[in-house]
Structure 1
Amino acid sequence: MDYLKSISRVVLGKDIPSFPYNIGEKVDSFEGASIWSLHNGTKKEDGTSVSVFTFDCNKQRDRLPLAKNAFKKFRTIRHPDLLKYLDGVETETYIYIVTEYVSPLKDQLKLHEDNNLKLWGLYKVGSALKFLNNDCSIIHGNVRISSIFTNKAGEWKLAGFELLSSIKEENPVIYTYGGLVVESAKYASPEVSKNSWNVLKDQEVWVTDSWNYGTLIYEVYNGEFTSAKQLDNVESIPQAICDQYRQLVSTNPKLRLSASSFIEDGLKPGGFFQNDLVQVNLFLENMNIKEAKEKEIFFKKLNNCIGNFPEEICKYKILPELINALEYGSGGAKVLPPIIKIGNSLSSTEYEQIIVAAIVKTFAVPDRTIRLSLLENLGSFIDKLSDKIVNDQIFQHVVTGFTDTAPIIRENTVKSILLLAPKLSDRTLNNELLKYIAKLQMDDEPGIRTNTTICLGKISKHLNDSTKKRVLASAFSRSLRDPFPHARVAGLMAFSATSDYYDATECATKILPCVSLVMIDKEKSVRIQAFKTADTFIKRLEKLVESMPDTAIPDPNSTENSSSLGVASNVAGAAASVAESWAGWAVTSITKKVI
């Protein structure tokens, strides 16, 4: 009791003993719409955002039974479409209810005109009413815009539990205090307006909630609702739901449609809930019971339509479901493309915390289809991965693909190196990676051997000078002896692409002799490329020898070398004479034969 008294003396906004939340600024747009005031708050332990509903017991003592009932129902009833309760405290002065972080629905409706998002919201509220009315025999009694809130994903959450009553209770609050809620007369169903809240004892449990569900539909599409006379105006309400809407707001409670029936009608083939946004969210919520073929079709469709969805619902609703499906295997390989597409709208911090963390975990999964999808989509997220993550957490899993028994995994692993190489450390790139490349040049699959040569040629610019000198010429020379023609062409092209890395000696003694051998290759494509490559290296050599001296013979003016120079001159002269004589003899011989 002393504890409660100490709390009762605390002023709103100050720290409350043992209350693990900070109460922040009031949400002004909600003020006056309910018996509650809504505040933004944070959890003291980790700063997590929350919402705090506060009730001043002294200022609204006549409505205290409503606040007490709401607090009790928040703590005892759970459903995904009801506002999620986290914590709360009741004192002699205040009642605090802490929930997931939300905003009033009124604020979202001002920002978004997306009809599909509105339909998804109506589905969620209808689903909550179906649970309360049909499964729990509970009357909500306070369904309206001010009782609905939106979370970060933009999903609608039903609250406003002031009148929430089970018809099995001894004294349901709604019968006694129904008239105390804010603007109760405006939202009261016709039978209640004509009589009292006690009339509901003789009606179906869902009767008054269905009426309010209909007025909610009117509010969502028309703005503020002031009286029942407006409900006949259906001009702004989507044509697809007009028939059901009219049944919801029927003045005869016996003809009124239940929220459950409204949901069922909307989900029928061709129904108003058969739009991409609703169907995607429903599939994700039930993905664990879907067949593999259904998932494959779904993810392909999702990747094509996800760009049309509101950003908030993609980031905070669809993305978490996809990440979960990726990490635990229920989504398969097809789940990755839509994850990457949504990830492009995230901030750098969000991307690292959500997408990168999931990708790192997924690279460790041995499933080949998932690994293949990661490799095929690497280009769309490689720029978001830090060098440290690539070297320390991803590369160790990628290299297992070099020795995989499935050729397609080996081939795509080779291709992935083109993207990973710029981020690899010097040691990893110039030692560990090249060991795998050397083995892959002898792979059983000719296509993999070819791509390995191409890969080495393209990543050569990232290698250090000593590695280039030690590895490139011998690797590309080996490919010229490959029995697969395309591998020989790849080797020739790789030589051409890396020609600047070789000195004159290597060009003349190692590379050109190898290239000359394939100038007479049986395959024309190889011969053509061989001549092109030879021409590249000849031009390279011409450029390199420009800086060479005209002769290696010492200066004749040097006294020291005069003797040897004389001999050299005589030899040179003799050689020139012989050459001239030989050439003349050859021409003469030919001339004689012609004559």
Structure 2
Amino acid sequence: MFKFLKDVVAGSVAGVKDLPYTIGEPYSSAWGSWTHSRGTSKVDGSPVSIFSLSGSNDNDGRLAAGRNGIKRLRTVRHPNILSFLHSTEAEIMDGSSTKVTIYIVTEPVMPLAEKIQELGLQGTQRDEYYAWGLHRIAKAVSFLNNDCKLVHGNVCLESVVVTQTLDWKLHAFDVLSEFDGNNEAASGPMLMFSGLKLSKTEELRNTASLPKSLLPDYQRLLSSTPSRRLNSSKLVENCEYFQNKLVDTIHFMEILNLKDSVEKDSFFRKLPTLAEQLPREIVLKKLLPLLASALEFGSAAAPALTPFLKIGAWLSAEEFNIKVLPTLVKLFASNDRAIRVGLLQHINQYGESFTSQVVDEQVRIKY
């Protein structure tokens, strides 16, 4: 099956003249009839995701839905919704017949089911990651429902993808439609926990797989009267399920500019110990870049150096040079004297990474 998909995708590339991307290996799962493949830009080699959908002719219903999804994804922008980059259509010869194929190019992502399997999280760390991810999807749904007056119509495991920083993002907008007061759906949480697809609406009431802290609000989402259903914005704001160390830590970092210096200092002094308790992969791929950005752009002060260097020490030497060293080089020119002093105090943790070439060509010490 994998070889078949690869051959189909590879064969279709030849007919796509205006797609400035190279289509690579397909993932084993995607939403609906779409194929989700890895891809790269022909311009600079940067990674992307490429989604493709084929129909027997231009009037195929799946293509009509796919075009709706493209239009919606192109115009709806939100941090928790998949970022659109490019789209095109092509007529592809398939033996003696011609097929119409739609392509959508997005930021590089991976199907949620495959990423969960790859991470292999267990126990509390798995539960915290699920909560963080669902918090992101709930915010995306809230944005669609409350700000755009739209309904996704199929929030499920397959309509969620994961970025390189392990953020969950919502996509699969083929059946996205205007909200009419009666069509709001709330199937997402149950299907993500059970990994099953709905065969009938009544299965929404099967809540055996849901965490107890999520259950009361989930049941309120299922009110038989649409006007009485729990608004998705209230789910994000008040649900006990979303209150855990991982969600709180990342949320604090994302609104760091709104915190005063006392709150920041307290947070960063606790962070080295807290980071030990959080999923290592998420700390390295999500929290570390947030720390680097905060230090570079001035929203984090000298106390943030300690957790930044501690987390950075968990990387390989090669990754350290890519993800940590550039930030340290920039900080030597910081206007914050406390940061410059802190760099010298911690130099034994990173000094060996500073080659003579780096010192001569990149480090600009501010006195």
Normalised to the residue count of structure 1, the TM-score between the two structures is 0.54
Does the 8 Å CA contact 1:153/1:314 hold for their aligned counterparts?
no
- 1:274 corresponds, among 236, 243, 250, to 243
Deviations 1:192-222 (CA, angstroms, capped at 9, x unpaired): xxxxxxxxx452xxx523x22xxx2222333
Counterpart position of 2:213: 240
Would the aligned equivalents of 1:147 and 1:158 in 2 still touch at CA under 8 Å? yes
| 1:452 alignment partner in structure 2 | none
Native 8 Å contact 1:150 1:157 kept in 2: yes
Structure 2 residue identity aligned to 1:240: S
Report the AA paired with residue 374 of structure 1: L
Describe the SS at the equivalent of 1:28.
coil
The 1:231/1:17 distance shift into structure 2, 3 A limit, reads closer
* 1:263 CA drift (Å): 1.0
Aligned residues of 1:121 and 1:155 also touching (Cα < 8 A): yes
1:247 partner letter:
R
Tell me the residue number matched to 1:41.
Answer: 39
Q: CA deviation at 1:41?
A: 0.4
**Distance (whole Å) between structure 1 residues aligned to residue 27 and residue 333 of structure 2:** 45
Unaligned regions of 5+ residues in structure 2, if any?
1-9, 92-99
User: Once the 2 structures are TM-superposed, how far is the Cα of residue 369 of structure 1 from its aligned partner?
Assistant: 0.9
Q: Is the 8 A contact 2:29 2:35 kept in 1?
A: no
Identical columns (%): 35
Q: How big is the shift at 1:13?
A: 3.0
Question: Any conservation in 1 of the 2:136–2:168 contact (CA below 8 Å)?
Answer: yes
Asked if structure 2 preserves the Cα contact closer than 8 Å seen for 1:133 and 1:139, the reply is: yes
Q: Which residue of 1 aligns with 2:121?
A: 112
Change (3 A) 1:391 1:11: closer
Code of the residue aligned with 1:123 in structure 2: it is: H
Distance in 1 of aligned mates of 2:214 and 2:88: 42
Structure 1 partner of 2:365: 397
Matches within 5 A, 1:218-233: 218-226=190-198, 227-233=200-206
Matched letter for residue 107 of structure 1:
E
Q: How does 1:499-538 map to 2 (within 5 A)?
A: none
Alpha-carbon offset, residue 334 of structure 1:
1.5
**Deviation of residue 344 (structure 1)?**
2.1
Residues of 2 paired with 1:375 and 1:81: CA distance? 39
**1 CA distance for matches of 2:251 and 2:189?**
21
CA contact (8 A) 1:155 1:313 kept: no
Root-mean-square deviation (CA, aligned residues, Å) is 2.3
Larger radius of gyration: 1
Change in Cα spacing, 1:138 to 1:231, as seen in structure 2 (3 Å) is: closer
Give the whole-Å Cα distance in 2 for the aligned partners of 1:106 and 1:349.
29
Helix, strand or coil for the counterpart of 2:69?
Answer: helix
Partner in structure 2 of residue 196 of structure 1: none
Cross-structure match for 1:368: 337
| Residue pairs, 1:208-357, within 5 angstroms | 208-209=184-185, 211-212=186-187, 216-226=188-198, 227-266=200-239, 271-357=240-326
Q: Which runs of structure 2 are paired with 1:128-143 in the superposition (5 Å)? A: 128-143=140-155
CA 14–24 in structure 1, closer or farther in 2 if over 3 Å, else same: farther
Give 1:62 deviation, angstroms: 2.3
- Matched with 2:139 is 127
- Structure of higher RCO (CA pairs closer than 8 Å, 6+ residues apart): 2
Q: Mark the runs of 5 or more structure 1 residues left unpaired by the alignment.
A: 1-9, 168-200, 401-595
Corresponding residue of 1:443: none
Distance 2:167 2:69 in 1: 21
Give the Å deviation of 1:370: 0.5
Q: 1:390 to 1:140 in 2, by over 3 A?
A: same
Q: Does 1:382 align with 2:358?
A: no
- The one-letter code of the counterpart of 1:94 is T
The equivalent position to 1:156 in structure 2, one of 160, 168, 181, is: 168
Q: 1:97 aligns with which of 89, 100, 104?
A: 104
Counterpart of 2:6 in structure 1 is none
* 1:2-50 CA distance string (max 9 Å, x none): xxxxxxxx941337323210011111233xx412111110011221111
Contact 2:181 2:226 survives alignment (8 Å): no
Aligned to 1:474: none
Check the 8 A contact 1:128/1:158 in 2, yes or no.
yes
What's the offset of the Cα at 1:314? 2.2
Partner AA of 1:358 in structure 2: T
Distance 1:29 1:264 in 2: 32
> 1:56: which partner in 2?
54
1:243 offset after TM fit, Å?
0.8
Distance change in 2, residues 1:233/1:273 (3 Å) = same
- Residue of structure 2 in register with 1:413 after alignment: none
Matches of 2:177 and 2:228, distance apart in 1:
23
